[in-house]
Amino acid sequence: MIKSMTGYGKGELESSLGTLTVEIRSVNHRYGEVSIRMPRPFYPFENDIKRHISSVLKRGKIDVSVQWDETSDGEALPQINMELARQYHSIFKLLSDELHLANEIPLTLLLSQKGVIGEAATRQDDTGLQQHVLTAVGSAVTAIDAMRRREGESLADDLAARLKQVAEWIGEIRGRVPHTVDEYRQKLKARLAQLLENTEFDEWRLTQEIALMADRSDITEELVRLSSHFTQFEETLLLPEAVGRKLDFLMQEMNREVNTIGSKSNDVTITTLVVRVKAEMEKMREQVQNIE
């Protein structure tokens, strides 16, 4: 099933310890790139979060935001390094005695020393936090994946319709090919007759010239390859896995064949049809850039 690379999903989880809110946004990107903004207590789970997201969202620039509002039961508590505080107190007391200072050593001085007050530590264990965040991430991933699928269905319908139109124009080009040689023969013959007036011209040389023109402008191989590409494109739209890169490759090949047809053609009708095809295929290419 076709998926878009653009989407948004949100997951929330409430418990006695607090509320977790996970938001995921994704936009077009050549590869799969996951970036996460989250509170420090969740840093150890970053790889698990990325693995969970990447297992579902294969391509796109994916931004993840994790917000954690703790209740009073789960609030973080500061850590006091008592041993370090005692050592600082001993040093300050020694200095005070040596310098004959009578003032008491203020508590604020001790607390301001590096390492005495450590980083806050949550009362909840890591296992509980990990389970909470992965559950919320799972809900957000499910939501964004559903949105990307819905948009992917619309993209698939649009691409199928545009491909059908392109195929119709290519069919007109195919039907036009047999007439181009005869018309070229008539135009060349009329031109020679006008230039040479009553002088006879070499019919064999005329036949050779027409044969050379027919060989230079032959687009049979390009039309056959285009037909094959159209079939592969339609089949790829129905595949269950991520197909964005394959569709992009097929678009490049289709454009190459159409460009060759345009360069070989000296027929106004075919040239006009080629311009239409290229314009429509450019719209298809832009749509394909958004497919996972």
Instruction: Examine the domain organization and report whether 155 and 262 are in the same domain.
Output: yes
Same domain as 239, residue 129: no
Contacts 24+ apart (CB under 8 A), 179-186: 180/217, 180/265, 180/266, 180/267, 180/270, 181/210, 181/213, 181/214, 183/267, 184/210, 184/213, 184/214, 184/266, 185/210
**Does residue 196 share a domain with residue 88?**
no
Say if residue 112 is in the same domain as residue 129.
no
What is the C-alpha to C-alpha distance for residues 151 and 2, in angstroms, rounded to an integer? 9
Domain termination residue (choose one: 110, 133, 149): 149
> Is there a single domain that holds both residue 69 and residue 182?
no
At which residue do the structure tokens 């031109």 appear? 191
Does this model's pTM top 0.95? My answer is no
Does 1 map to a domain?
A: no
Which residue range(s) make up the domain with 109?
Answer: 77-121
pLDDT by 10-residue block (mean), the chain, 292 residues:
94 86 95 93 93 94 93 63 88 83 81 78 63 94 97 96 97 84 60 58 61 65 93 95 94 96 85 95 96 95
182 shares a domain with 242: yes
CATH of the domain at 43: 3.30.230
How many domains does the chain divide into? 3
Q: Please indicate, yes or no, whether residues 180 and 223 belong to a single structural domain of this protein.
A: yes
On whether both 242 and 192 belong to a single domain, the answer is yes
Residue 2 lies in a domain: no
